[in-house]
Structure 1
C-alpha cells in the first residue's frame, strides 16, 4: 500500500490520466444503466402498480393486451383471491385551453372499476366518481403542465376528460396512464357505451393466494392465464430493449477492464529496471506484485467513484422528460464488477514482475 500510493503521488499526471479514462468509461456505463432502467420502468410502472400475479387475456392475443378482447361477463368465470376488470386503449389528448390546444400528448387509458384493486393511490386531488373524469400520471403535470381540474380532449373525438387527480409511477409502454371508468373507456374505444354483460374489455387482472397462480382458474377455454412477469417480458419492444442495453453495458465493462489492464501493463513494463533494482535490494516479488495490484485497485476505485458521483450529479439536472432512474443495486453490482475485472487484468502485469531478472533489468 505504501509503495503503491507513493508512486501515484509522485507521478500525478500519469496516474490522473488513467483515473480520467476510468472515470469516463464508468460514467458512460452508469449513465447508460440509468437510462436503460428508466426507459424499462416507463414501460411497466403501471403494471407493477397493480401488485398482481397474473393477467387473463383472450387465447388468440399472443399475450398482447392490445390484441385481446373479451366480454366483461368473463369476470364471473375467473376464480382467484381478487379479480379486476381492465379496459386499455392508446390515445392522443389535446389541451382544451386556447393557448396550448395544438399540443398533442400520447397517453394510455385504463378503464377500471373504482371498487377493485386496480384503483391507484391518489397523491393529489381525488378519485374519479363519474364518467369523463380521470386520474392521471403525475408526469403529465411535471412535463406537460396539466393541472388539477384541467380538461383534455381526445384527438379525433369530441369527448372531454376532466383531470380530477394525480397518481405517481403510472406509465405503460412509455406513455402516461389516465385511469377512468369502464364506460368512459368504451366511449373512447368504441364511441358508445355498452351496459350489457357482453360489453368488451381487454383483460382481467388477478391476485392469487400467497402471490401464487396455483389456485387461480378460468372455466372458459378461450381465455389464457399469463403470469405478470411473462406479460411484462412480452410487452412490445421491452425485452429487446433490456437485452440491447444489457449487452452494451456488459461490453463496456469488459472494455474498461481491458483499457485499465493495458495501461497498468505498459506502466509495469516501463518500470522493469526499477523492479530489478528493488529485487536486487532484497524486496520480494510478492511485495512488488501486491503493490501493483493495490495500485490498480486504487486507480479503479477512484475512477469508478468519480464516475458514479458524476452520474448522480447529472441526474439532478436532467430534464424531467428524460427517462433516467437510478438503481443503486445495479450501480453497486456494476461498480464491483468493474473493480474486480480491473484487478484481474492487473494479474497480467504481476506475471511480468515475477519474471523480472534483477541482473538483466539493471543491465
Structure 2
C-alpha cells in the first residue's frame, strides 16, 4: 500500500470528506436497523417469546374467502381447541384470546391488549393466575405501574405480579390474565382473535394436522409475518436500509473512480517501473478498506452510543446484529463499489498516460 498510504497522508481533506459521508451513511443505517429491531420487538414480543414457555405451534382458523391466515382473522372455537388435543404429535393444547381493552390505574384509563389464557395455562408467563396478572413494561412507564400495584378492569381489581419487557403487541402494552379475571372484569373476547397454542413432539406434522383438524398450524416465528402492522413497518424500514446501503456503494464507487482518474499519471509511473497490476489493485482495495473501516467504524460507534442513550425514550435494540452486521455489509458493498475503479487501473497504458501528462 505504498501509493495508497501516501495518498491518505497527502490528500487528507478529500479522504476526510468521503470518510465523513461513509460515517453518516453508516450512522443512518445502524440507527435504522436498531430502530427497526426495536419497533419489531414492540410489535411482536408477546408472540415471539412464546417458545420460551413451550409453545411450538400456533393454530389459526381457516380464513374466510378473501382473507389471509393470521391473527386478525383467526376465530378458533373451543370445540376446535379440544379436537386439536387429539391430533398426532400434539402433547398439550391451550386457548388464547386477544382483545383490546382499557385498564384503570389510579383513576386514569389506558389502552392495553389483553392476552386471555386458561387458568393454569402452560403458555402464560410465570405469575399469571386468578387475581394476578403480568403486564408490559410500557404500561409501567406510561401509567407509573410497578409490581405489587393493583389495576382495574371494570369492577375487577387485579394485582400486578410482574412487569415484562416482552409483553407488547402491535406497539400496545399487553396484560396477560386468566379467563376467570377477564370474565369478571368485563373484557370482551367474543368476536375477537382466538387461537390454539400447541405443545408438540417430534412426530407432529403440520400438513396432516391441518387436514384432520381444519386448523392452520405455524411456528411462532413464522406466524409473525401474519401480523399486518409488523409486516408493513418492517418492510418499509428494510427498504430504506437497502437503499442506503446501495447509495453507500454508489458514493464510494464514484469517489474512487474519479480519484483513480486523477492519479492516472502516478499509476503509469508505477507500471513503467515494473509494478504489477495485481499490486496496484491490492493497493487501491486496501485504501478503500481503510477508508470504509474508519468511516464506518466511526458511524457505528456514534450510532451505538446514541442508541444506548435513546433506548429509554424510543424502542431501540443495541446488539451485534444491529451494529456489527450493518457495518460489515456496508464495508463489503463499499468494496464492491470501489471495484468499479479497478478496470482503469488494469487497462492504463504507461506510455500514453505519461505522454498525456506532459
1:312 to partner: Cα distance: 1.0
Distance 1:295 1:206 in 2: 55
Aligned to 1:77: 83
Aligned residue among 53, 57, 60 for 1:54: 57
Distance 1:225 1:346 in 2: 47
1:244 to partner: Cα distance: 1.8
Distance 1:351 1:3 in 2: 17
Aligned residue among 320, 331, 334 for 1:339: 331
Aligned to 1:137: 136
Q: RMSD of the TM alignment (CA)?
A: 2.9
Aligned to 1:92: 102
Secondary structure in 1 aligned to 2:282? helix
Aligned to 1:150: 149
Matched, 1:25 2:40: no
1:128 to partner: Cα distance: 4.1
Question: Residues 319-358 of structure 1: matches in 2 within 5 Å?
Answer: 319-329=311-321, 331-358=323-350
Question: Residues 3-18 of structure 1: matches in 2 within 5 Å?
Answer: 3-18=3-18
Aligned residue among 219, 240, 244 for 1:252: 244
1:211/1:252 CA distance change after superposition, 3 Å? farther
CA contact (8 A) 2:103 2:112 kept: yes
Query: Number of aligned pairs?
Result: 345
Aligned to 2:282: 290
Aligned to 1:124: none
1:296 to partner: Cα distance: 0.6
CA contact (8 A) 1:54 1:213 kept: no
Secondary structure in 1 aligned to 2:49? helix
Aligned to 2:124: 119
Distance 2:169 2:281 in 1: 53
1:50 to partner: Cα distance: 1.4
Distance 2:120 2:129 in 1: 11
Q: Which moved more, 1:311-320 or 1:180-189?
A: 180-189
Aligned residue among 175, 186, 210 for 2:172: 175
Secondary structure in 2 aligned to 1:342? helix
Structure 2 gaps, min length 5 = none
Write the deviation string for residues 94-122 of structure 1: whole angstroms up to 9, x where unpaired. Answer: 3215xxx2xx533211112352221214x
Distance 1:271 1:128 in 2: 70
1:320 to partner: Cα distance: 2.1
Distance 2:240 2:117 in 1: 39
CA contact (8 A) 2:72 2:193 kept: no
Question: Residues 229-244 of structure 1: matches in 2 within 5 Å?
Answer: 229-244=221-236
1:34 to partner: Cα distance: 0.9
Matched, 1:43 2:48: no
* TM-score, normalising length: structure 1: 0.84
Structure 1 gaps, min length 5 = 122-126
